[in-house]
């Protein structure tokens, strides 16, 4: 197998974790990232690696030169803020839809045979079927979800018309090292971990009974690589298949971090779905393994990376998951 790959969004939260595992497994990796939300901080520990190159560029400007010698593209670059996508749907479309189209067009011209794309649970909207299968209805509630869905359709079209193979991963609530807690709409776990480390209150919006399927970022990275190495194709939910309530999450964060934080409940967020969880049978049967780090285990590993030398601990984390 050719081990030269390009990762769009490789300086972001999920992308940089993916790059760590790719390099560990001996791949030659190009990162293409415009650093709009990603950061060189996330990849600085790898910048001296001769098997890594970094191209600072918007996915709308990707050129044939960037794809020379590349066998497959992991397309992760995106604007991920749902609220921003409602405030500025044109910009969301420019990056999340047109950007994907440009990646596919340049890949077609360069003769690239496979694109692996990270879509989102946001394509389903407020679906009745929980746990949710890949075939559930798709009624996205935001331009972000809509553009992720439409981009998945582009990949299917490129498969039908040009024979380009694809993997579409619909990610549920991903958490772990390098998730940025600074935005009001950052992932809840990154915020809880930060508050807990300072013994500040953990704020739960609503009654705390709402659930999410929290999946550890290293499991997502390992699954993406397995999907490439096993040459599977198609659309897959990526989650643990377990629901965790926000009350349980907050208590587990306090437990794992040994924090003195208390928990407060505030008014629920408008327009929010109550339950979210995936059925991950399709991914499990196709890969023979799936993201299934328990919430307590994932939070403990995440906490370790915040507390001790990140690179050393993260390597242990990868070894754990890939050796399964
Ligand atoms: C997730 C995705 C989003 C989109 C959406 C689709 C993340 C970070 N976001 O949004 O991109 O795909 O799913 O359904 O994965 N909460 C609190 N306190 C806080 C912050 C959040 O209680 O300080 C609650 C929030 O009300 C919600 C849960 O935590 O019930 C998860 O919130 P989130 O913002 O991490 O993710 P979510 O599911 O809204």
Structure confidence by residue, pLDDT tens digits, 186-222: 899 999 999 999 999 999 999 999 999 999 999 999 9
pLDDT higher than 60, residue 313 = no
pLDDT at 272: 85
pLDDT higher than 50, residue 318 = no
Pick from 126, 139, 282, 264: nearest CA to 206 = 264
Q: Which two tokens stand for residue 307?
A: 């507390």
Task: Tell me, yes or no, if 216 is annotated catalytic.
Answer: no
pLDDT higher than 80, residue 323 = no
Structure confidence by residue, pLDDT tens digits, 34-75: 999 999 999 999 999 999 999 999 999 999 999 999 999 999
Structure confidence by residue, pLDDT tens digits, 294-306: 999 999 999 998 8
Rounded CA gap, 6 and 301, in Å? Answer: 28
Q: Which residues contact 58 (CB under 8 A, 6 or more apart)?
A: 34, 36, 95, 99
Stronger pLDDT, 183 or 66, i.e. the higher one: 66
pLDDT at 1: 61
Active-site entry in 27, 97, 144, 228 = 144
Best mutation site among 126, 139, 188 for ligand 1, i.e. most ligand atoms within 8 A of its Cβ? 188
* pLDDT bucket at 270, cuts 50 / 70 / 90: confident
pLDDT higher than 70, residue 320 = no
Best mutation site among 80, 139, 147, 173 for ligand 1, i.e. most ligand atoms within 8 A of its Cβ? 173
Rounded CA gap, 224 and 227, in Å? Answer: 5
Residues forming a β-bridge with 168 = 117, 235
Q: Which two tokens stand for residue 24?
A: 């560990």
pLDDT higher than 50, residue 324 = no
* pLDDT bucket at 316, cuts 50 / 70 / 90: very low
* pLDDT bucket at 2, cuts 50 / 70 / 90: low
Residue 56 main-chain phi, psi, to 5 deg: -90, 105
Structure confidence by residue, pLDDT tens digits, 228-261: 999 999 999 999 999 999 999 999 999 999 999 9
SS3 for 168?
A: strand
Residue 166 main-chain phi, psi, to 5 deg: -150, 160
Residues forming a β-bridge with 95 = none
Residue 320 main-chain phi, psi, to 5 deg: -50, -50
pLDDT at 306: 85
In this structure, which residue's CA is closest to atom 25 in ligand 1? Answer: 205
Average pLDDT value over all residues in the chain: 93
């Amino acid at each position: 197998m050719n081990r030269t790959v390009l990762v769009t969004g490789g300086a972001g939260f999920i992308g940089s974790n993916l790059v760590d595992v790719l390099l560990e497994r001996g791949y030659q990796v190009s990162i293409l990232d415009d650093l709009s939300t990603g950061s060189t901080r996330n990849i600085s520990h790898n910048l001296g690696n001769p098997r890594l190159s970094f191209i600072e560029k918007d996915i709308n400007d990707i050129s044939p030169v960037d794809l020379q010698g590349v066998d497959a593209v992991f397309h992760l670059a995106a604007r991920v803020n749902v609220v921003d996508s409602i405030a500025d749907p044109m910009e969301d479309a420019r990056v999340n839809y047109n950007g994907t189209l440009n990646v596919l067009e340049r890949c077609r011209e360069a003769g690239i045979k496979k694109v692996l794309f990270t879509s989102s649970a946001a394509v389903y909207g407020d679906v009745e079927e929980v746990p949710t299968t890949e075939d559930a209805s798709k009624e996205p509630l935001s331009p972000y979800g809509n553009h992720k869905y439409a981009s998945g359709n582009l990949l299917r079209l490129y498969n039908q018309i040009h024979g380009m193979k694809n993997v579409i991963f619909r990610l549920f609530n991903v958490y772990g090292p390098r998730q940025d807690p600074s935005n009001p709409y950052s992932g809840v776990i990154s915020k809880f971990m930060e508050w807990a480390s300072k013994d500040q209150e953990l704020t739960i919006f609503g009654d705390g009974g709402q659930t999410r399927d929290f999946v550890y970022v290293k499991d997502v990275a390992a699954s993406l690589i397995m999907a490439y190495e096993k040459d599977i194709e198609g659309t897959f939910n990526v989650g643990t298949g377990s629901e965790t309530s926000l009350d349980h999450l907050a208590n587990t964060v306090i437990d794992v971090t040994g924090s003195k934080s208390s928990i407060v409940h505030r008014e629920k967020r408008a327009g929010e779905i109550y339950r979210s969880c995936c059925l991950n049978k399709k991914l499990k049967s196709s890969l023979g393994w799936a993201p299934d780090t328990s919430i307590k285990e994932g939070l403990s590993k995440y906490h370790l990376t915040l507390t001790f030398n990140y690179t050393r601990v993260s390597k242990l984390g990868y070894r754990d998951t890939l050796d399964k």
